[in-house]
Structure 1
Amino acid sequence: MNIHRWLKRFSFASMIGMFLILLMGALVTKTESGRGCGEDWPLCNGKFIPAYTIESLIEYSHRFVVGVVSMILLATMILVFLFSKRKDAKWYVSGAMFFTLLQALLGALAVVMPQSSAILALHFGFSLLSFAFTLLLALVYTRFGEAMQHGDGTNISKGVRMAVWGILLYSYVVVYLGAFVRHTQSTGGCIGWPLCNGEVIPEMTGATSIVFTHRLAAALLGLVLLMLFMVVRTQARPGSSLYEAAKWSLILVVLQILSGGFVTLALGHDIYLLASLLHTLLISCLFGMLSFLSITTLRTSAQEDIQAYAAPRLP
């Protein structure tokens, strides 16, 4: 039995499963199906197989997928700890399991004891962290795994390293703001795009202030990723893991901003749900790419360290 092949298969199954959970969670929120099973958990309206309604079907399907993916992730975790020699793989699978259980617990509490929008927004954030960890785990068993463990020979400054990790943390804040917009049902606070209600700076009240804050935060994320790529291209060679991750992060954030505009323009139309799911898909890919970029910087050599080591010693 080729254990490496099974590790790869289960890791990819966990990643795909977590990605599906993200999309289904967004579908539950957008269709307002969170109460589709009443206040029962894990049963749905007191039944193992609930009566057919669109809301109960969406909510119960989401719960079912979470349960199946959790089992797959548990099997993956056992395989990794028993057979993998990669310490980072054990960290990734442990992180994925922790945040998967945390988001499942938060989801159950949201059903039994309705939570505030601020707490509900964390549910998507925890699911996104679970996906990021499973993505990193899956990448360990691909051609990118070597760069994640030993680097690809790229030398970057300490300042770039710190900037990358700072951007990753900031992107999580942007994600949280987006989830907060959904859970407060504030999407209609800004009509039109790129202007908000026909104004460059609208009146900052109610839903408008929530949506406009998210727009500003997303625009700033796009700006800093543009600046990061311009710096990275001077320190990393084209084709290196660091260069490619920075490039794709920039591409994805541009697509993410445009998809945000698509969501706004689709309000009131049949295509709105599709636009919302596309928005979720892109932010998941962007956060995953930024996570890979951040891990990659840990395996690079700082230019300052190399220069210090290479400098002639004074007698």
Structure 2
Amino acid sequence: MNIQRWLKRLSFASMAGMFLILLMGALVTKTESGRGCGDDWPLCNGKFVPAYTIESLIEYSHRFVVGVVGMILLATTILVVLYSKRKDAKWYVGGAMVFTVLQAILGAMAVVWPQSGPVLALHFGFSLLSFAFTMLLYLVYTKFGEAMHLGDGTRLTKGVRIAIWGILIYSYVVVYLGAYVRHSQSTGGCIGWPLCNGQVIPELSGATGIVFMHRVAAAVLGVAILVLFLVVRMQAHTDSAIYRATRLSLVLIILQILSGGFVTLAMGYDIYLLASMLHALLISCLFGILCYLGITSLHAAEGKVQAYAAPRLP
């Protein structure tokens, strides 16, 4: 048996499963199916097979997928601990296990005992961290794993490396605010986009204040990633993993901001659910890439940097 091949396969299955859990969790929230199984857990309304209602099927299928992915992740953990030679892989799979357990506990608590918006928002945040750890684990066994382990020869100043980690941490705050908007049922606080209720700065109270705070936070994140890209392209070669990850982060944050506008404009239409799922998908990808960028930057060589001019378009 080729152990490395199985490590890669199971790591990919764990990553794909965590990504599916994220999307299904967003679907549960957006369709208000969280109470589809009543106050029972792990059963659904006292039954192993739930009644045929849309809400119960969505909620119970989410639970089922979490269980299956949890078993896949457990098998991956055992294989990584026993056979992987990469210490960082063991850290990544350990982190994925910890946050998977935490998000499962929060999910069960939310069913049995009604939770507040801030606590429910953590459920999505823990799921996102689980996905990020499984993504890093999978990348260990791909061609991108070498840069995470030894670097790719890129030199970055200490200030840039600190900025990368600062943006990564701040992006999690933005994600949490977005989850809080959903779980506090504040989505309709701002009508219209990019203006909020027809104003540049609306009255900052209630749902309007929550949504506007999230919009401002997302805009600040977009500016920060843009500035980071402009700095990194002067210090990193265009073929380096760090430059590519920064460029992809810029593309994703632009799409994320636009998808936020799409969500707002789609309210009241059938396409609203699709817009919301797209919004969740993009932020998950962005956070994962920023995590990869952060890990890779740790191995960027210190010292005097060599400026690289960005290639000019013909």
The TM-score normalised by the length of structure 1 is 0.96
Task: State the match for 1:240 in structure 2.
Answer: 240
Task: Indicate yes or no: 2:127 matched with 1:127.
Answer: yes
Aligned mates of 1:191, 1:49 — CA distance in 2: 40
Aligned mates of 1:115, 1:196 — CA distance in 2: 29
1:42-121 mapped onto 2 (5 Å cutoff): 42-121=42-121
Shift of residue 303 of structure 1? Answer: 2.2
Task: State the match for 1:310 in structure 2.
Answer: none
Aligned mates of 1:88, 1:301 — CA distance in 2: 19
Aligned mates of 1:239, 1:124 — CA distance in 2: 34
Q: What do the CA deviations read for 1:20-44 (whole angstroms, capped 9, x no partner)?
A: 0000000000000000000000000
Shift of residue 99 of structure 1? Answer: 0.1
Task: State the match for 2:16 in structure 1.
Answer: 16
Shift of residue 249 of structure 1? Answer: 0.4
Task: State the match for 1:164 in structure 2.
Answer: 164
Give the residue type in structure 2 aligned to 1:152: D
Q: What do the CA deviations read for 1:57-84 (whole angstroms, capped 9, x no partner)?
A: 0000000000000000000000001110
Task: State the match for 1:261 in structure 2.
Answer: 261
Q: What do the CA deviations read for 1:73-97 (whole angstroms, capped 9, x no partner)?
A: 0000000011100000000000000
Please provide the CA RMSD for this pair: 0.9
Shift of residue 196 of structure 1? Answer: 0.5
Aligned mates of 1:215, 1:116 — CA distance in 2: 22
Task: State the match for 1:276 in structure 2.
Answer: 276
Give the residue type in structure 2 aligned to 1:217: A
4+ runs of 1 displaced by more than 3 Å?
none
Shift of residue 302 of structure 1? Answer: 1.6
- SS of structure 1 residue aligned to 2:89: helix
Q: What do the CA deviations read for 1:100-139 (whole angstroms, capped 9, x no partner)?
A: 0000000000011111001000000000000000000000
Q: What do the CA deviations read for 1:198-235 (whole angstroms, capped 9, x no partner)?
A: 11001111100000000000000000000000000010
Aligned mates of 2:216, 2:153 — CA distance in 1: 36
Aligned mates of 2:109, 2:239 — CA distance in 1: 46
Give the residue type in structure 1 aligned to 2:255: L
Aligned mates of 1:115, 1:50 — CA distance in 2: 23
The number of residue pairs the alignment matches comes to 306
Task: State the match for 1:311 in structure 2.
Answer: none
Task: State the match for 1:37 in structure 2.
Answer: 37
- SS of structure 2 residue aligned to 1:32: coil
Aligned mates of 1:51, 1:112 — CA distance in 2: 19
Give the residue type in structure 2 aligned to 1:136: L
Task: State the match for 1:197 in structure 2.
Answer: 197
Task: Indicate yes or no: 2:144 matched with 1:144.
Answer: yes
Aligned mates of 1:302, 1:266 — CA distance in 2: 47
Give the residue type in structure 2 aligned to 1:156: L
Task: State the match for 1:213 in structure 2.
Answer: 213
Task: State the match for 2:301 in structure 1.
Answer: 301
Give the residue type in structure 2 aligned to 1:59: E
Consecutive unaligned residues of structure 1, counting only runs of 5 or more, are 308-315
- SS of structure 2 residue aligned to 1:251: helix
Shift of residue 185 of structure 1? Answer: 1.0
Give the residue type in structure 2 aligned to 1:124: F
Task: State the match for 2:7 in structure 1.
Answer: 7
- SS of structure 2 residue aligned to 1:155: coil
